[in-house]
Amino acid sequence: MTQQRAFIFDMDGTIVDNMGFHTRSWLEFFSRRGHAVDEAAFFAATAGRTGHEIIGQYLGQGLPHDHVTGLIDEKETLYREIYAPHLRAVEGFSALVSAARAAGIRLAVGTAAPQSNVDFTLDGLGVRELFDTVVGAADVKRGKPEPDVFLLAAERCGADPARCVVFEDAPLGVEAARRAGMRCVVLTTTLPAEAFKTFDNVICIARDFSEIDINTLTNL
């Protein structure tokens, strides 16, 4: 087995603290169609899932693929409009990534986001070049909590899953890391620490990246 290490970052709610904006845009999207959706229940059921999976859950399975794609484009355009003025990386992100690169750790993004949002976030922050690979919704068949996105990121980095650390903010993402055989660092940007107490793969819980000790992670 390769000894290569990798850090795999979820994007929404992890690299950027934006999940509230995603939820707001989804609620507006469904409101336009006469659906009242409970905010807390919606986040718990969908954070980390792909847009196609969310549309299928709430508007029904069997809709034509092109129609669903158009619906997702509408929702994501709304999201980008309301979040754009607030786009910024979570505190400490740049320093942690720089330290990881200096330590020879491969870096990846593993997200359920569509390509338009990946471009909006990574290019908007100017951080795309920091990563060895970016895996998004278009690259896998199943969203989180299935492990596909993290396993593909590890494969592209040439890293054994057991040598990967995932950075996440949502239970479905932590579960995806667990199923992938990966340890996980949780950021409480979106939910309190108590929401992750049942996961045995969580090795650290922090408010932001500035609280994370890179030396601890590299010595695991």
Q: Which residues are catalytic?
A: 10
Directed axis angle between helix 39-46 and helix 19-31, to 10°? Answer: 110
Residue 65, both tokens: 């693929």
Going across the sheet that includes 202-206, the strands are: 133-135, 106-110, 6-9, 164-168, 183-187, 202-206
Q: What do you get for the CA distance between the two ends of the chain, in Å? A: 17
Which residue, 96, 68, 55, 88, is CA-closest to 218? 96
Q: How far apart are CA 46 and CA 48, in angstroms?
A: 6
Rounded to whole angstroms, what are the CA distances from 129 to 4, 73, 85, 123, 153?
19, 26, 23, 9, 15
Contact 196, 163 (CB under 8 A): no
